Amino acid sequence: MDLKRLRGILFCTLFILTSLLGSIFILFPFLPSAFIAPVLWRFCADRFVAFWLILPSASFYTSMCDYIFGIKFHVTGDLIENHRSSLVIMNHRTRLDWLFFWNALYKMNPWLLITHKISLKAILKQIPGAGWAMSCASYIFLERKFDQDKQTINRLVEYYKATGYNYQILFFPEGTDRGAQAVKVSNYFAEKNNLPKYGYVLHPRTSGFSHFLQLMRSKNYIDYVYDVTIGYPYKIIESEVDLLKTGDFPRAVHVDIKKYDIHTLPTDDEDVASWLSNVWKQKEDKLQYFYSKPAEKRFFEPSGERIIWPVCFFFFFLKLFLLNSHVIENS
């Protein structure tokens, strides 16, 4: 067995083992508080899960990616604010995008790992350890059946609102990663509706996004929508199976964030769907330009405030302090 494959086995083993032991010995003893004192449970569970991600100097997952596997993360654009409720949308290139997105959050502001929630496939709930921890973290598990998922989304958003905490919810409008079968379905949809075929994204499922947005808006539980674009300048690793079998990891991951104030988005469902489709067309163009360049020159043009992480920490943390001071004054 070569060293590279051994790294993949090590990563998957540690990922499962640490989440398994953390669930049994840290999360489960506090589980009764979910029924006795649900707000306290939410406070503790969010921090216990984040503690797995954030150790004293760097997160477990970030340390593994940065220092053991040598992945370089490039994060640009607008800062995601951890004290504001928001919906985060991202293209879904691989089955590992949401894992790599943790690193982007850590680089922007480690506190985001406490207030970050993810929508993901329901089958992942069955993973021993990791699935249990994600359930305790109240991640949103979706079956990709809109009528059924709508009830799940309603229940979780109402729950988030009731806790009194502001969360940033990651949602993939494409519904799945850009695998071969998904590309065929997307292309068929494009042909049927006289739309262009995309080479780097899938056509988004507008119904799910529209429902999510309008629900959060009706609950007065959304301030921003963040459009996140993720790209891999070198080899693209499609899934956790590839990690386990080959031990291959992407050499670099690029993430760019663009912030939209909720008041700038349309209120009608059809207009919301058109807005999302337009954002995805822009994302396709952005990725087409990104991949048109030689691998070593593939960088996103920063969006919005054009921040490039890491930044000057004095001014960055000064900004975070001022933002949080403003929240305290208005609370």
In tens, the pLDDT along 53-89 reads 765 334 555 556 666 677 889 999 999 999 999 999 9
Which is more confidently placed, 91 or 131?
91
Domain membership flag for residue 323: no
187 burial level (CB within 10 Å; 0-12, 13-18, 19+): middle
Domain membership flag for residue 321: no
Spatial separation of the C-alpha atoms in residues 258 and 148, rounded to whole Å: 30
pLDDT at 315: 43
pLDDT at 311: 56
Least confident of 136-140, 165-169, 315-319: 315-319
Domain membership flag for residue 244: yes
Spatial separation of the C-alpha atoms in residues 201 and 306, rounded to whole Å: 23
Cβ(80)–Cβ(105) under 8 Å? yes
- What mean pLDDT is predicted for residues 227-240? 94
Q: What is the pLDDT of residues 268-302, one digit of tens each?
A: 999 999 999 999 999 999 999 999 999 999 999 99
Which is more confidently placed, 265 or 66?
265
Q: What is the mean pLDDT of the chain?
A: 89
Cβ(217)–Cβ(159) under 8 Å? no
pLDDT at 322: 53
Domain span including residue 101: 3-305
Domain membership flag for residue 317: no
Number of domains comprising the chain: 1
Report residue 76 as tokens. 């640009």
pLDDT at 68: 66
Query: Is the pLDDT score of 312 beyond 50?
Result: no
Give the CA diameter of the chain: 59
pLDDT at 3: 77
Q: What percent of the chain has pLDDT above 90?
A: 67
Least confident of 11-20, 190-199, 233-242, 285-294: 11-20
Identify which of 241, 242, 231, 235 has the alpha carbon closest to the alpha carbon of residue 199: 231
pLDDT at 1: 60
Domain membership flag for residue 184: yes
Domain membership flag for residue 328: no
Domain membership flag for residue 240: yes
Query: Is the pLDDT score of 198 beyond 50?
Result: yes
Residue with tokens 């940065």: 66
* CA 11 remoteness from chain centre: 20
CA quadruple 221, 222, 223, 229: dihedral positive or negative? Answer: positive
What confidence tier does 8 reach under pLDDT thresholds 50, 70, 90?
Answer: confident
Domain membership flag for residue 330: no
Spatial separation of the C-alpha atoms in residues 211 and 217, rounded to whole Å: 10
Tell me, yes or no, if the pTM score tops 0.85.
yes
